[in-house]
A and B are shown apart, each in its own frame.
Chain A
Amino acid sequence: MTDAVTAELTVSGVHQTFITTDGKPMNVLNNINLNFDEEKFVSIVGHSGCGKSTLLRIVSGLQRPTRGSVRFKGHEVTGPGADRGMVFQQDAVFPWLTVRRNIEFGMEARGVAREEIGRQSKRWIELVGLTGWEDAYPKELSGGMRKRVDLARVYANSPEVMLMDEPFGALDQQTKSVMQGELLRLWQNSRSIVLFVTHDLEEAIYLSDEIVVLAPRPGRVKSKMQVSLARPREDGMRLTTEFLEQKRALHELLKESL
Protein backbone atom coordinates (compact mmCIF):
# COMPACT_ATOMS: atom_id res chain seq x y z
CA MET A 1 0.00 0.00 0.00
CA THR A 2 2.49 2.60 -1.16
CA ASP A 3 1.49 6.19 -1.65
CA ALA A 4 2.43 6.21 -5.31
CA VAL A 5 0.37 8.65 -7.34
CA THR A 6 -0.22 6.00 -9.95
CA ALA A 7 -2.21 3.83 -7.55
CA GLU A 8 -5.03 2.02 -9.32
CA LEU A 9 -7.55 2.59 -6.57
CA THR A 10 -7.28 5.65 -4.40
CA VAL A 11 -9.44 6.77 -1.54
CA SER A 12 -8.55 10.35 -0.74
CA GLY A 13 -9.83 12.61 1.99
CA VAL A 14 -13.11 10.76 2.31
CA HIS A 15 -15.52 12.07 4.92
CA GLN A 16 -18.97 10.73 5.48
CA THR A 17 -21.57 12.38 7.65
CA PHE A 18 -25.05 11.00 8.17
CA ILE A 19 -27.94 12.81 9.79
CA THR A 20 -29.40 10.63 12.53
CA THR A 21 -33.14 10.28 13.04
CA ASP A 22 -33.06 12.86 15.85
CA GLY A 23 -31.55 15.35 13.42
CA LYS A 24 -27.96 15.36 14.69
CA PRO A 25 -25.09 14.96 12.26
CA MET A 26 -22.99 11.84 12.84
CA ASN A 27 -19.46 11.67 11.57
CA VAL A 28 -19.08 8.13 10.25
CA LEU A 29 -15.82 8.43 8.35
CA ASN A 30 -13.18 11.02 8.96
CA ASN A 31 -10.50 11.78 6.39
CA ILE A 32 -9.83 8.34 4.99
CA ASN A 33 -6.81 8.05 2.71
CA LEU A 34 -5.92 4.67 1.24
CA ASN A 35 -4.14 3.47 -1.86
CA PHE A 36 -4.40 0.06 -3.43
CA ASP A 37 -2.07 -0.46 -6.31
CA GLU A 38 -1.40 -4.16 -6.54
CA GLU A 39 -3.57 -7.17 -6.79
CA LYS A 40 -3.59 -7.56 -3.08
CA PHE A 41 -6.02 -9.03 -0.65
CA VAL A 42 -6.74 -6.34 1.92
CA SER A 43 -9.03 -6.74 4.89
CA ILE A 44 -10.66 -3.90 6.72
CA VAL A 45 -11.40 -4.60 10.37
CA GLY A 46 -12.68 -2.50 13.21
CA HIS A 47 -15.23 -2.30 15.98
CA SER A 48 -18.84 -1.71 15.06
CA GLY A 49 -19.47 1.90 14.21
CA CYS A 50 -16.08 2.35 12.55
CA GLY A 51 -17.73 2.81 9.17
CA LYS A 52 -16.06 -0.14 7.45
CA SER A 53 -19.18 -1.08 5.49
CA THR A 54 -19.78 2.56 4.59
CA LEU A 55 -16.23 2.80 3.26
CA LEU A 56 -16.84 -0.24 1.07
CA ARG A 57 -20.11 1.21 -0.22
CA ILE A 58 -18.32 4.44 -1.08
CA VAL A 59 -15.68 2.54 -3.07
CA SER A 60 -18.44 0.63 -4.86
CA GLY A 61 -20.17 3.86 -5.78
CA LEU A 62 -23.44 2.88 -4.08
CA GLN A 63 -22.80 5.72 -1.64
CA ARG A 64 -21.42 9.16 -2.44
CA PRO A 65 -19.05 10.53 0.23
CA THR A 66 -19.85 13.84 1.90
CA ARG A 67 -16.35 15.03 1.03
CA GLY A 68 -13.34 13.54 -0.69
CA SER A 69 -13.24 11.14 -3.58
CA VAL A 70 -12.47 7.66 -4.80
CA ARG A 71 -10.51 7.29 -8.00
CA PHE A 72 -10.16 4.09 -9.93
CA LYS A 73 -7.68 3.87 -12.81
CA GLY A 74 -7.56 7.61 -13.05
CA HIS A 75 -11.31 8.21 -13.06
CA GLU A 76 -13.41 9.46 -10.22
CA VAL A 77 -15.98 6.93 -9.01
CA THR A 78 -19.44 8.47 -9.41
CA GLY A 79 -21.58 5.33 -9.28
CA PRO A 80 -21.53 1.55 -9.25
CA GLY A 81 -19.78 -0.25 -12.08
CA ALA A 82 -19.09 -3.82 -13.10
CA ASP A 83 -15.34 -3.19 -12.75
CA ARG A 84 -15.89 -3.12 -8.99
CA GLY A 85 -17.81 -6.26 -8.04
CA MET A 86 -19.51 -6.47 -4.68
CA VAL A 87 -20.53 -9.36 -2.46
CA PHE A 88 -22.96 -8.50 0.29
CA GLN A 89 -23.49 -10.06 3.68
CA GLN A 90 -27.15 -10.66 2.91
CA ASP A 91 -28.24 -13.25 0.43
CA ALA A 92 -28.29 -11.30 -2.82
CA VAL A 93 -28.80 -14.26 -5.17
CA PHE A 94 -31.97 -13.66 -7.20
CA PRO A 95 -34.49 -16.32 -6.15
CA TRP A 96 -36.41 -16.12 -9.45
CA LEU A 97 -33.39 -17.14 -11.51
CA THR A 98 -31.70 -20.52 -11.67
CA VAL A 99 -28.07 -20.91 -10.64
CA ARG A 100 -26.91 -20.54 -14.23
CA ARG A 101 -29.11 -17.52 -14.98
CA ASN A 102 -27.92 -15.84 -11.79
CA ILE A 103 -24.31 -16.29 -12.80
CA GLU A 104 -25.05 -14.99 -16.29
CA PHE A 105 -26.95 -11.94 -15.06
CA GLY A 106 -24.04 -9.49 -14.93
CA MET A 107 -22.62 -10.59 -18.27
CA GLU A 108 -26.04 -10.27 -19.91
CA ALA A 109 -26.53 -6.83 -18.39
CA ARG A 110 -23.20 -5.75 -19.83
CA GLY A 111 -24.04 -7.15 -23.25
CA VAL A 112 -21.34 -9.81 -23.40
CA ALA A 113 -21.62 -12.09 -26.46
CA ARG A 114 -23.84 -15.15 -25.93
CA GLU A 115 -21.11 -17.79 -26.55
CA GLU A 116 -18.78 -16.03 -24.15
CA ILE A 117 -21.52 -15.91 -21.51
CA GLY A 118 -22.09 -19.63 -21.89
CA ARG A 119 -18.38 -20.37 -21.66
CA GLN A 120 -17.84 -18.20 -18.61
CA SER A 121 -20.86 -19.42 -16.70
CA LYS A 122 -19.87 -23.03 -17.31
CA ARG A 123 -16.36 -22.28 -16.11
CA TRP A 124 -17.46 -20.52 -12.95
CA ILE A 125 -20.09 -23.10 -12.11
CA GLU A 126 -17.30 -25.68 -12.22
CA LEU A 127 -14.91 -23.51 -10.25
CA VAL A 128 -17.34 -23.05 -7.38
CA GLY A 129 -18.30 -26.72 -7.44
CA LEU A 130 -21.93 -26.33 -8.48
CA THR A 131 -21.86 -28.64 -11.48
CA GLY A 132 -25.16 -30.50 -11.58
CA TRP A 133 -27.02 -27.61 -9.93
CA GLU A 134 -27.12 -25.32 -12.98
CA ASP A 135 -30.90 -25.42 -13.31
CA ALA A 136 -31.74 -25.42 -9.61
CA TYR A 137 -33.48 -22.45 -8.05
CA PRO A 138 -31.81 -20.83 -5.02
CA LYS A 139 -34.51 -22.12 -2.67
CA GLU A 140 -33.16 -25.62 -3.30
CA LEU A 141 -29.65 -24.64 -2.18
CA SER A 142 -28.05 -24.35 1.26
CA GLY A 143 -26.71 -21.04 2.54
CA GLY A 144 -23.14 -21.99 1.64
CA MET A 145 -24.14 -23.00 -1.88
CA ARG A 146 -25.98 -19.73 -2.41
CA LYS A 147 -22.85 -17.87 -1.37
CA ARG A 148 -20.95 -19.84 -4.02
CA VAL A 149 -23.48 -18.70 -6.61
CA ASP A 150 -23.03 -15.15 -5.39
CA LEU A 151 -19.22 -15.38 -5.67
CA ALA A 152 -19.39 -17.00 -9.10
CA ARG A 153 -21.85 -14.35 -10.28
CA VAL A 154 -19.49 -11.54 -9.31
CA TYR A 155 -16.34 -13.30 -10.50
CA ALA A 156 -17.88 -14.21 -13.86
CA ASN A 157 -18.21 -10.48 -14.44
CA SER A 158 -14.36 -10.28 -14.24
CA PRO A 159 -14.17 -7.27 -11.93
CA GLU A 160 -10.83 -5.64 -11.30
CA VAL A 161 -11.74 -4.89 -7.71
CA MET A 162 -13.66 -7.23 -5.43
CA LEU A 163 -15.54 -5.60 -2.59
CA MET A 164 -16.73 -7.98 0.07
CA ASP A 165 -18.86 -6.82 2.96
CA GLU A 166 -18.72 -9.62 5.54
CA PRO A 167 -19.75 -12.08 2.83
CA PHE A 168 -19.54 -15.08 5.13
CA GLY A 169 -21.00 -13.34 8.19
CA ALA A 170 -24.25 -15.24 8.01
CA LEU A 171 -22.70 -18.70 7.59
CA ASP A 172 -21.95 -21.24 10.32
CA GLN A 173 -18.33 -21.71 11.36
CA GLN A 174 -17.65 -24.87 9.32
CA THR A 175 -19.18 -23.53 6.14
CA LYS A 176 -17.35 -20.28 6.70
CA SER A 177 -13.92 -22.01 6.84
CA VAL A 178 -14.70 -23.96 3.69
CA MET A 179 -15.81 -20.79 1.89
CA GLN A 180 -12.66 -18.95 2.95
CA GLY A 181 -10.59 -21.68 1.33
CA GLU A 182 -12.78 -21.51 -1.80
CA LEU A 183 -12.44 -17.75 -2.00
CA LEU A 184 -8.64 -17.94 -1.85
CA ARG A 185 -8.66 -20.58 -4.57
CA LEU A 186 -10.87 -18.38 -6.79
CA TRP A 187 -8.72 -15.37 -6.08
CA GLN A 188 -5.56 -17.30 -7.02
CA ASN A 189 -7.36 -18.10 -10.29
CA SER A 190 -8.23 -14.56 -11.21
CA ARG A 191 -6.24 -12.02 -9.28
CA SER A 192 -7.78 -8.71 -8.44
CA ILE A 193 -7.66 -6.13 -5.69
CA VAL A 194 -9.84 -7.43 -2.87
CA LEU A 195 -11.24 -5.25 -0.11
CA PHE A 196 -12.71 -7.55 2.47
CA VAL A 197 -14.66 -6.16 5.39
CA THR A 198 -14.92 -8.40 8.43
CA HIS A 199 -14.90 -8.32 12.20
CA ASP A 200 -13.53 -11.85 12.39
CA LEU A 201 -9.78 -11.49 13.09
CA GLU A 202 -8.91 -15.06 12.17
CA GLU A 203 -10.68 -14.62 8.86
CA ALA A 204 -8.79 -11.38 8.20
CA ILE A 205 -5.40 -12.97 8.84
CA TYR A 206 -6.13 -16.18 7.01
CA LEU A 207 -7.19 -14.37 3.84
CA SER A 208 -5.20 -11.16 3.66
CA ASP A 209 -1.88 -9.71 2.61
CA GLU A 210 -2.63 -6.55 4.52
CA ILE A 211 -5.09 -5.51 7.17
CA VAL A 212 -6.37 -1.99 7.72
CA VAL A 213 -7.62 -1.30 11.24
CA LEU A 214 -10.26 1.39 11.55
CA ALA A 215 -11.05 3.17 14.80
CA PRO A 216 -14.68 3.98 15.57
CA ARG A 217 -16.60 7.22 16.05
CA PRO A 218 -15.54 8.80 13.85
CA GLY A 219 -14.21 6.07 11.60
CA ARG A 220 -10.55 6.68 10.78
CA VAL A 221 -7.55 4.63 9.77
CA LYS A 222 -5.84 3.61 13.00
CA SER A 223 -3.12 1.30 11.77
CA LYS A 224 -2.10 -1.10 9.04
CA MET A 225 -0.61 -4.51 9.39
CA GLN A 226 1.18 -6.80 6.95
CA VAL A 227 0.37 -10.49 7.14
CA SER A 228 3.58 -12.47 6.72
CA LEU A 229 2.08 -15.93 6.22
CA ALA A 230 3.16 -17.68 3.05
CA ARG A 231 0.78 -18.36 0.18
CA PRO A 232 -1.01 -20.51 -0.67
CA ARG A 233 -2.67 -20.54 2.70
CA GLU A 234 -3.84 -23.82 4.11
CA ASP A 235 -6.35 -24.65 6.73
CA GLY A 236 -3.68 -26.15 9.01
CA MET A 237 -1.96 -22.76 9.28
CA ARG A 238 -4.74 -21.46 11.49
CA LEU A 239 -3.20 -23.12 14.54
CA THR A 240 0.49 -22.42 13.88
CA THR A 241 2.43 -20.22 16.31
CA GLU A 242 3.08 -17.74 13.52
CA PHE A 243 -0.63 -17.41 12.78
CA LEU A 244 -1.58 -17.06 16.42
CA GLU A 245 1.10 -14.43 16.99
CA GLN A 246 -0.28 -12.36 14.15
CA LYS A 247 -3.76 -12.79 15.50
CA ARG A 248 -2.56 -11.56 18.90
CA ALA A 249 -0.86 -8.57 17.28
CA LEU A 250 -4.04 -7.70 15.38
CA HIS A 251 -6.05 -8.10 18.53
CA GLU A 252 -3.77 -5.58 20.25
CA LEU A 253 -4.15 -3.12 17.37
CA LEU A 254 -7.88 -3.42 17.58
CA LYS A 255 -7.87 -2.85 21.33
CA GLU A 256 -5.74 0.25 20.92
CA SER A 257 -8.23 1.58 18.40
CA LEU A 258 -10.95 1.97 21.01
Chain B
Amino acid sequence: MALGLSEPVAEVAGDDEIESPARKAARLRRTRIVVGTISLGSLILLYTLVSNFSGVNPALMPPPQAIGATFWRMMADGSLWEDTAASLLRILVGYSIGTSLAILIGTLMGWFRIVEFIFDPIVEAFRPVPPLAYIPLIILWIGIGEESRILVLVMASFLTCIVNAYSGMKQVPRVYVEAARTLGASEATIFRRVALPFALPYIFAGMRVAMAASWATLVAAELVAAQSGLGYMLQAGRRFFDTSVVMVGIITIGILAFTLDRLFRFAQSRLNRWEEVER
Protein backbone atom coordinates (compact mmCIF):
# COMPACT_ATOMS: atom_id res chain seq x y z
CA MET B 1 0.00 0.00 0.00
CA ALA B 2 3.03 2.20 0.42
CA LEU B 3 3.18 2.24 -3.35
CA GLY B 4 0.17 4.52 -3.58
CA LEU B 5 -2.02 1.81 -5.03
CA SER B 6 -4.92 2.44 -2.69
CA GLU B 7 -6.57 4.98 -5.01
CA PRO B 8 -9.28 2.74 -6.59
CA VAL B 9 -10.58 1.60 -3.21
CA ALA B 10 -10.87 4.93 -1.49
CA GLU B 11 -14.37 4.12 -0.24
CA VAL B 12 -12.94 1.42 2.04
CA ALA B 13 -10.13 3.61 3.25
CA GLY B 14 -12.77 6.11 4.32
CA ASP B 15 -14.07 3.70 6.91
CA ASP B 16 -12.80 4.70 10.32
CA GLU B 17 -13.19 1.26 11.89
CA ILE B 18 -10.25 -1.14 11.85
CA GLU B 19 -10.04 -3.21 8.69
CA SER B 20 -10.71 -6.93 9.15
CA PRO B 21 -8.31 -9.43 7.51
CA ALA B 22 -11.07 -10.59 5.17
CA ARG B 23 -11.71 -7.01 4.10
CA LYS B 24 -8.06 -6.36 3.60
CA ALA B 25 -7.78 -9.49 1.45
CA ALA B 26 -10.79 -8.39 -0.62
CA ARG B 27 -9.33 -4.91 -1.03
CA LEU B 28 -5.98 -6.29 -2.16
CA ARG B 29 -7.70 -8.64 -4.58
CA ARG B 30 -9.63 -5.78 -6.15
CA THR B 31 -6.51 -3.63 -6.40
CA ARG B 32 -4.72 -6.53 -8.01
CA ILE B 33 -7.42 -7.04 -10.63
CA VAL B 34 -7.59 -3.34 -11.46
CA VAL B 35 -3.82 -2.93 -11.75
CA GLY B 36 -3.47 -6.19 -13.64
CA THR B 37 -6.12 -5.19 -16.16
CA ILE B 38 -4.42 -1.85 -16.67
CA SER B 39 -0.98 -3.37 -17.21
CA LEU B 40 -2.12 -6.06 -19.64
CA GLY B 41 -4.46 -3.57 -21.34
CA SER B 42 -1.59 -1.12 -21.82
CA LEU B 43 0.48 -3.78 -23.55
CA ILE B 44 -2.36 -4.56 -25.96
CA LEU B 45 -2.94 -0.85 -26.50
CA LEU B 46 0.75 -0.34 -27.23
CA TYR B 47 0.71 -3.17 -29.78
CA THR B 48 -2.43 -1.71 -31.36
CA LEU B 49 -0.87 1.74 -31.66
CA VAL B 50 2.45 0.52 -33.02
CA SER B 51 0.92 -1.90 -35.53
CA ASN B 52 -1.58 0.69 -36.80
CA PHE B 53 0.32 3.97 -36.78
CA SER B 54 4.06 3.47 -36.69
CA GLY B 55 4.39 2.46 -40.33
CA VAL B 56 5.76 -0.97 -39.45
CA ASN B 57 5.10 -3.63 -42.09
CA PRO B 58 1.60 -5.05 -41.30
CA ALA B 59 2.68 -8.36 -42.80
CA LEU B 60 5.10 -8.66 -39.86
CA MET B 61 2.98 -7.02 -37.21
CA PRO B 62 -0.66 -7.43 -38.17
CA PRO B 63 -2.92 -5.03 -36.25
CA PRO B 64 -5.48 -6.56 -33.85
CA GLN B 65 -8.35 -6.02 -36.31
CA ALA B 66 -6.48 -8.09 -38.91
CA ILE B 67 -5.81 -10.83 -36.38
CA GLY B 68 -9.49 -10.72 -35.43
CA ALA B 69 -10.52 -11.05 -39.08
CA THR B 70 -8.23 -14.05 -39.56
CA PHE B 71 -9.63 -15.56 -36.39
CA TRP B 72 -13.22 -15.27 -37.68
CA ARG B 73 -12.26 -16.61 -41.08
CA MET B 74 -10.56 -19.64 -39.52
CA MET B 75 -13.52 -20.24 -37.26
CA ALA B 76 -15.89 -19.98 -40.18
CA ASP B 77 -14.01 -22.36 -42.47
CA GLY B 78 -13.56 -24.77 -39.56
CA SER B 79 -9.76 -24.95 -39.78
CA LEU B 80 -9.24 -23.48 -36.33
CA TRP B 81 -11.60 -26.07 -34.82
CA GLU B 82 -9.90 -28.88 -36.67
CA ASP B 83 -6.43 -27.92 -35.52
CA THR B 84 -7.57 -27.28 -31.96
CA ALA B 85 -9.39 -30.60 -31.84
CA ALA B 86 -6.37 -32.43 -33.25
CA SER B 87 -4.09 -30.92 -30.61
CA LEU B 88 -6.50 -31.46 -27.74
CA LEU B 89 -7.02 -35.08 -28.73
CA ARG B 90 -3.28 -35.70 -28.73
CA ILE B 91 -2.95 -34.03 -25.34
CA LEU B 92 -5.88 -36.00 -23.97
CA VAL B 93 -4.49 -39.35 -25.09
CA GLY B 94 -0.79 -38.74 -24.43
CA TYR B 95 -1.29 -36.96 -21.15
CA SER B 96 -3.78 -39.51 -19.82
CA ILE B 97 -1.49 -42.42 -20.58
CA GLY B 98 1.60 -40.61 -19.33
CA THR B 99 0.18 -39.38 -16.03
CA SER B 100 -1.67 -42.66 -15.31
CA LEU B 101 1.56 -44.59 -15.70
CA ALA B 102 3.42 -41.98 -13.67
CA ILE B 103 0.93 -42.15 -10.79
CA LEU B 104 0.90 -45.94 -10.82
CA ILE B 105 4.65 -46.44 -10.97
CA GLY B 106 5.54 -43.32 -8.95
CA THR B 107 3.36 -44.22 -5.96
CA LEU B 108 4.60 -47.81 -5.96
CA MET B 109 8.18 -46.54 -6.22
CA GLY B 110 7.67 -44.28 -3.25
CA TRP B 111 6.18 -47.04 -1.14
CA PHE B 112 7.99 -50.26 -2.04
CA ARG B 113 11.75 -50.22 -1.93
CA ILE B 114 12.14 -52.93 -4.54
CA VAL B 115 10.00 -51.03 -7.05
CA GLU B 116 12.09 -47.94 -6.28
CA PHE B 117 15.32 -49.83 -6.89
CA ILE B 118 14.02 -51.13 -10.22
CA PHE B 119 12.56 -47.95 -11.69
CA ASP B 120 14.60 -45.15 -10.17
CA PRO B 121 17.68 -45.69 -12.42
CA ILE B 122 15.46 -45.82 -15.51
CA VAL B 123 13.58 -42.64 -14.64
CA GLU B 124 16.80 -40.86 -13.74
CA ALA B 125 18.40 -41.95 -17.01
CA PHE B 126 15.57 -40.54 -19.14
CA ARG B 127 14.70 -37.46 -17.13
CA PRO B 128 17.66 -35.14 -17.80
CA VAL B 129 17.04 -35.31 -21.56
CA PRO B 130 14.22 -33.02 -22.72
CA PRO B 131 11.46 -35.20 -24.28
CA LEU B 132 11.81 -33.25 -27.55
CA ALA B 133 15.27 -34.68 -28.00
CA TYR B 134 13.72 -38.11 -28.46
CA ILE B 135 11.59 -36.98 -31.41
CA PRO B 136 14.16 -37.76 -34.14
CA LEU B 137 14.73 -41.22 -32.68
CA ILE B 138 11.02 -41.87 -32.35
CA ILE B 139 10.49 -40.77 -35.96
CA LEU B 140 13.26 -43.10 -37.13
CA TRP B 141 11.79 -45.98 -35.21
CA ILE B 142 8.05 -45.62 -35.67
CA GLY B 143 7.66 -42.96 -38.35
CA ILE B 144 5.90 -39.63 -38.34
CA GLY B 145 2.45 -40.97 -37.63
CA GLU B 146 0.09 -40.05 -34.83
CA GLU B 147 1.72 -42.66 -32.58
CA SER B 148 5.05 -40.89 -32.48
CA ARG B 149 3.54 -37.53 -31.47
CA ILE B 150 1.51 -39.21 -28.76
CA LEU B 151 4.54 -41.14 -27.59
CA VAL B 152 6.48 -37.91 -27.08
CA LEU B 153 3.58 -36.56 -25.04
CA VAL B 154 3.44 -39.74 -22.97
CA MET B 155 7.13 -39.35 -22.21
CA ALA B 156 6.87 -35.65 -21.37
CA SER B 157 3.92 -36.04 -18.98
CA PHE B 158 5.22 -39.28 -17.50
CA LEU B 159 8.66 -37.93 -16.70
CA THR B 160 7.38 -34.74 -15.07
CA CYS B 161 4.54 -36.32 -13.10
CA ILE B 162 6.37 -39.36 -11.77
CA VAL B 163 8.83 -37.30 -9.74
CA ASN B 164 6.03 -35.73 -7.71
CA ALA B 165 4.09 -38.94 -7.17
CA TYR B 166 7.27 -40.62 -6.02
CA SER B 167 8.40 -37.89 -3.64
CA GLY B 168 4.89 -37.44 -2.22
CA MET B 169 4.83 -41.08 -1.17
CA LYS B 170 8.35 -40.85 0.20
CA GLN B 171 7.31 -38.02 2.49
CA VAL B 172 4.45 -39.74 4.30
CA PRO B 173 5.29 -39.08 7.98
CA ARG B 174 6.14 -42.20 9.92
CA VAL B 175 3.80 -41.27 12.76
CA TYR B 176 0.75 -41.52 10.44
CA VAL B 177 1.77 -44.96 9.31
CA GLU B 178 2.44 -46.15 12.84
CA ALA B 179 -0.79 -44.65 14.15
CA ALA B 180 -2.70 -46.50 11.42
CA ARG B 181 -0.88 -49.73 12.25
CA THR B 182 -1.72 -49.52 15.95
CA LEU B 183 -5.34 -48.77 15.00
CA GLY B 184 -5.44 -52.13 13.29
CA ALA B 185 -5.07 -51.10 9.65
CA SER B 186 -3.62 -53.61 7.20
CA GLU B 187 -0.74 -52.68 4.90
CA ALA B 188 -3.18 -52.40 1.98
CA THR B 189 -5.41 -50.07 3.99
CA ILE B 190 -2.42 -47.95 4.97
CA PHE B 191 -1.39 -47.62 1.33
CA ARG B 192 -4.89 -46.71 0.20
CA ARG B 193 -6.14 -44.63 3.11
CA VAL B 194 -2.98 -43.06 4.56
CA ALA B 195 -0.19 -42.89 1.99
CA LEU B 196 -2.28 -42.07 -1.09
CA PRO B 197 -4.36 -39.28 0.50
CA PHE B 198 -1.21 -37.76 1.97
CA ALA B 199 0.53 -37.85 -1.41
CA LEU B 200 -2.50 -36.60 -3.35
CA PRO B 201 -1.55 -32.90 -3.27
CA TYR B 202 1.92 -33.82 -4.55
CA ILE B 203 0.42 -35.99 -7.28
CA PHE B 204 -1.89 -33.17 -8.26
CA ALA B 205 0.95 -30.69 -8.44
CA GLY B 206 2.76 -33.18 -10.67
CA MET B 207 -0.26 -33.51 -12.94
CA ARG B 208 -0.38 -29.75 -13.29
CA VAL B 209 3.28 -29.47 -14.20
CA ALA B 210 2.82 -32.38 -16.60
CA MET B 211 -0.03 -30.51 -18.31
CA ALA B 212 2.23 -27.52 -18.93
CA ALA B 213 5.02 -29.78 -20.15
CA SER B 214 2.59 -31.53 -22.49
CA TRP B 215 1.63 -28.27 -24.17
CA ALA B 216 5.23 -27.27 -24.65
CA THR B 217 6.10 -30.64 -26.09
CA LEU B 218 2.99 -30.91 -28.23
CA VAL B 219 3.51 -27.62 -30.02
CA ALA B 220 7.15 -28.44 -30.66
CA ALA B 221 6.28 -31.93 -31.90
CA GLU B 222 3.65 -30.54 -34.25
CA LEU B 223 6.12 -27.97 -35.55
CA VAL B 224 8.38 -30.79 -36.65
CA ALA B 225 6.10 -33.47 -37.92
CA ALA B 226 2.38 -32.99 -38.32
CA GLN B 227 -0.35 -32.30 -40.87
CA SER B 228 -2.73 -30.87 -38.29
CA GLY B 229 -2.79 -29.28 -34.88
CA LEU B 230 -2.00 -25.89 -33.46
CA GLY B 231 1.75 -26.35 -33.83
CA TYR B 232 1.22 -27.24 -37.47
CA MET B 233 -0.96 -24.16 -37.85
CA LEU B 234 1.88 -21.96 -36.56
CA GLN B 235 4.29 -23.60 -38.94
CA ALA B 236 1.88 -23.22 -41.88
CA GLY B 237 1.37 -19.54 -41.05
CA ARG B 238 5.12 -18.98 -41.14
CA ARG B 239 5.50 -20.89 -44.40
CA PHE B 240 2.80 -18.86 -46.14
CA PHE B 241 4.09 -15.70 -44.51
CA ASP B 242 0.71 -15.11 -42.86
CA THR B 243 1.69 -13.58 -39.53
CA SER B 244 -1.92 -13.17 -38.36
CA VAL B 245 -2.38 -16.96 -38.55
CA VAL B 246 0.70 -17.33 -36.36
CA MET B 247 -0.80 -14.81 -33.94
CA VAL B 248 -4.13 -16.66 -33.86
CA GLY B 249 -2.25 -19.88 -33.11
CA ILE B 250 -0.31 -18.33 -30.25
CA ILE B 251 -3.40 -16.74 -28.74
CA THR B 252 -5.42 -19.97 -29.01
CA ILE B 253 -2.69 -22.01 -27.33
CA GLY B 254 -2.39 -19.39 -24.62
CA ILE B 255 -6.11 -19.38 -23.89
CA LEU B 256 -6.40 -23.17 -23.90
CA ALA B 257 -3.38 -23.77 -21.68
CA PHE B 258 -4.45 -21.02 -19.30
CA THR B 259 -8.01 -22.38 -19.05
CA LEU B 260 -6.81 -25.94 -18.40
CA ASP B 261 -4.41 -24.71 -15.75
CA ARG B 262 -7.20 -22.77 -14.03
CA LEU B 263 -9.47 -25.82 -14.11
CA PHE B 264 -6.67 -27.75 -12.48
CA ARG B 265 -6.20 -25.18 -9.79
CA PHE B 266 -9.90 -25.24 -9.07
CA ALA B 267 -10.01 -29.05 -8.85
CA GLN B 268 -6.91 -28.95 -6.69
CA SER B 269 -8.44 -26.55 -4.18
CA ARG B 270 -11.63 -28.63 -4.05
CA LEU B 271 -9.87 -31.94 -3.56
CA ASN B 272 -7.31 -30.76 -1.06
CA ARG B 273 -9.47 -28.69 1.22
CA TRP B 274 -7.80 -30.27 4.22
CA GLU B 275 -4.38 -28.89 3.42
CA GLU B 276 -2.74 -26.45 5.80
CA VAL B 277 -2.45 -23.63 3.32
CA GLU B 278 -1.78 -20.99 5.92
CA ARG B 279 1.94 -20.35 6.30
- Nearest residue (CB) in A for B272 is A96
Contact between B184 and A106 (Cβ–Cβ < 8 Å)? Answer: yes
Q: Which chain A residues (31-69) contact chain B, with CB distance < 8 Å? A: 60-62
The listed residue (B179, B194, B274) touching A139 by CB distance below 8 A is B274
Nearest CB of A to B277, in Å? 8
- Nearest residue (CB) in B for A156 is B183
Is B197 an interface position by the 8 A CB rule?
yes
Is A118 an interface position by the 8 A CB rule?
no
- Interface residues in A, total, Cβ within 8 A: 29
Contact between B193 and A84 (Cβ–Cβ < 8 Å)? Answer: no
Nearest CB of A to B131, in Å? 32
Q: Mark B158-197, 1 if CB is under 8 A from A, else 0.
A: 0000000000000001011011111111100100011001
Q: Mark A84-119, 1 if CB is under 8 A from B, else 0.
A: 111010111011110000000110011000000000
- Interface residues in B, total, Cβ within 8 A: 24
Chain B contact residues: over half helix, strand or loop, or mixed? Answer: helix
Chain A residues packing against B (C-beta within 8 Å) = 60-62, 79-82, 84-86, 88, 90-92, 94-97, 105-106, 109-110, 137-139, 153-154, 157, 163
Q: 4 closest Cβ contacts across the A-B interface?
A: A82-B184, A106-B183, A92-B179, A109-B185
The 19 sampled A-B contact pairs (Cβ below 8 Å) are: A61-B182, A80-B181, A80-B184, A82-B184, A86-B178, A86-B179, A86-B182, A88-B175, A88-B179, A90-B173, A92-B176, A94-B179, A96-B272, A105-B183, A105-B185, A105-B193, A106-B183, A139-B278, A163-B182
Starting from the known contacts A82-B184, A88-B179, A138-B274, 14 additional A-B residue pairs (CB-CB under 8 Å) come to A80-B184, A88-B178, A92-B176, A94-B179, A94-B194, A96-B274, A105-B180, A105-B183, A105-B193, A109-B193, A110-B184, A139-B274, A153-B183, A163-B182
